[in-house]
Chains A and B, each alone.
Chain A
């Protein structure tokens, strides 16, 4: 497929030109992390793909990885890893435009435009053409860098079905207090504890049911306490969730 009109690699070659043949998957993935109508996001480009990072109230961060394999064409020409900020809501709304039934076509995504915009354009449709220009911001004006430190060499992670996690977190709300998440390597399990008007403990055991914890990575016992777990509802669009728990330290 050769759709990019200016694919010559000169000094003015864009950092990225990629073509997506169906936007729906990307729209779904990004909608998962659109927690509010006006959500800011930082986009990072690399030769491996595109990462969209959003954060909420300085305590919750989500990343959507769009690997280069997802794209029909992925032309990366930048040095370093360009980052830019934009409105996630606008990006989702614009992408949605390209999935209008009847005129669905491949979308070319290009960065940067003449004024550092993110450019979207429908390709290979002769008689109807859609285009969008989204203004980007310099990401440093937004304090994104919440330092996610590893508590050891192996990051503590687990992957669980969204529906189960959502149900558990909903249940944990009734004690009305903080929620503790405890990891045990032996036997591998994750325990959610809610304490307040009453106690509630939910244990996800790795061996109990292979469908429950799909992946589990933890080499030492560790526990974290959270005041509130937010945005689970929004993430429930995803089928699986990988949780990576670390202490969040603001710089």
Chain B
């Protein structure tokens, strides 16, 4: 089992400035999954009870060439390697690698790239070897080697489960609506969470996103209308503007033009932390049959409005009570 690569400048700043801060907020430990074509950072894909496990699933997938040069990964399991790592430690290592790297004088040769590899080594004071992700950085006057402890590589069956979970997540919601302002949504949710722990989310084919918290004493909802739609769409029925938002949503669900799911407020708050990764667009949708609430973050190729296909970033929030509605 081998892994060795050099970071590209864009790749390391993408991880340092965007993805690691966001993933750190979603959960302390994440899986790193390396395949011959992609590198992935994953949260909660191997939850104890599948998607109903202990939190939102979060997948950040990068084409290998975006993050790395001279990328080589090999294992007896179709050249796939997966292990778990503490996100904060990974971020610290990257930060300091970048700091050392920055010592290189502006003029002159380009600095040597930051190298990363998988090693198994015996540390002082321990009897057996342990796996590490090693970062090697050469600055102008110093060279720094950092070892970030990682878990033992995942077994062949766990890697297979990881891949299965990823494949299962490929099923896209039929209708996705674009939330124009993620910080605003976060602000709203921050206030909604004072009111209750259970959130009902409705997505209609008319481009409405409706969030509602209900307890025995209070019902509070917020409705975003006329959002951009991807996928299946329908025209909003005329004359339903006079009824309350809750009734309108119920009618849309009955007509089969909307889906409604209940998710945990805590999970939604966590998934909203993903806005730290500064996506260019964010879409919300409900997977077929109300399997989960999917949040898809889209990135553009810098300077264009063309989707960057080398980054795929999404969250899936487990549905708490699939029987409801």
Chain A residues near B (Cβ < 8 Å): 5, 87, 90, 93-94, 96-97, 100-103, 126-135
Task: Say yes or no: B221 contacts A132, CB within 8 Å.
Answer: yes
What 10 additional pairs, Cβ within 8 angstroms, besides A93-B195, A128-B224?
Answer: A90-B218, A94-B218, A97-B191, A100-B187, A102-B181, A127-B225, A128-B222, A132-B218, A133-B219, A134-B218
Structural contact, A101 and B194, CB atoms closer than 8 A: no
Chain A residues with CB below 8 A from B22, complex form: none
Question: Which chain A residue lies CB-closest to B212?
Answer: A131
* Minimum CB–CB distance for B240 against chain A, Å: 13
Quick check: A129 and B217 within 8 Å, CB to CB?
A: no
| Complex partner residue of A97 from B192, B226, B244, CB under 8 angstroms | B192
| C-alpha spacing A128/B225, complex, angstroms | 6
Which residues of B sit under 8 angstroms from A94, Cβ to Cβ?
A: 195, 218, 220
- Contacts A102-B187, A129-B245, A132-B220 given; does A93 touch B194 at CB 8 Å: yes
| Interchain Cβ contacts within 8 Å, total number | 67
Q: Which chain A residues lie closer than 8 Å to B187 at the CB level?
A: 100-102
Alpha-carbon distance between A135 and B220 when the two chains are bound, in angstroms: 11
Q: Tell me if B324 counts as interface (CB < 8 A to partner A).
A: no
- A90 interface neighbour in B191, B195, B222, Cβ under 8 Å: B195
**Are A131 and B218 within 8 A (Cβ)?**
no
The contact sample of 11 A-B pairs, CB cut-off 8 A, is A93-B194, A94-B195, A97-B195, A100-B184, A100-B191, A101-B187, A103-B188, A127-B224, A127-B225, A131-B245, A132-B221
Contacts of A102 in B (CB 8 A): 181, 184, 187
B 166-198 to A, binary, CB cutoff 8 A, 1 in contact else 0:
000000000000000100100110011011000
Tell me the residues in window 190-242 of chain B with beta carbons closer than 8 Å to chain A beta carbons.
191-192, 194-195, 216-226, 242
* Contact partners of B221 in chain A: CB under 8 A: 130-132
CA distance A100 to B211 in the complex (A): 15
Query: What is the distance, in angstroms, from B159's C-beta to the closest C-beta of chain A?
Result: 43
B246 contacts across to A, CB distance below 8 A: 131
CB distance from A202 to the nearest CB of B (A): 38
A contact patch SS: mixed
Q: Which of A100, A129, A135 contacts B216 (CB 8 A)?
A: A135
Looking at the complex, which one of A5, A96, A128, A134 makes contact with B223 (CB distance below 8 Å)? A128
Are B218 and A135 in contact, with the CB atoms below 8 A? Answer: yes
Q: How far apart sit A90 and B195, CA to CA, in the bound complex (Å)?
A: 7
List the A residue with the shortest CB-CB distance to B187: A100
Taking a contact as CB atoms under 8 Å apart, the answer to whether A133 and B184 are in contact is no
Using CB atoms, name the residue of chain B closest to A103. Answer: B184
What is the distance, in angstroms, from A167's C-beta to the closest C-beta of chain B? Answer: 32
How many Å from the CB of A148 to the closest CB on chain B? 29
Within 8 A of A (CB), among B296-314: none
Contacts of A100 in B (CB 8 A): 184, 187-188, 191
Complex contacts, A96 vs chain B, CB 8 Å: 191, 194
Do B217 and A90 touch across chains, with their CB atoms under 8 A apart?
yes
Query: How many Å from the CB of A111 to the closest CB on chain B?
Result: 14
Contact, CB under 8 Å: A93 / B224: no
Partner of A129, one of B181, B192, B194, B225: B225
Set A90, A97, A131, A135: member contacting B188, Cβ < 8 A: A97
CB distance from A106 to the nearest CB of B (A): 15
Complex formed: what's the CA distance from A132 to B215 in Å?
11
Closest chain B residue, CB of each to CB of A119: B244
- Shortest beta-carbon contacts, A-B, top 10: A132-B220, A133-B219, A102-B184, A129-B223, A130-B222, A93-B194, A127-B225, A135-B217, A134-B218, A90-B218
Q: How far is the CA of A103 from the CA of B221 in the complex (A)?
A: 14
A130 to chain B, nearest CB (A): 5
Chain A nearest CB from B178 CB (Å) reads 12
In angstroms, Cα B223 to Cα A187, docked, is 60
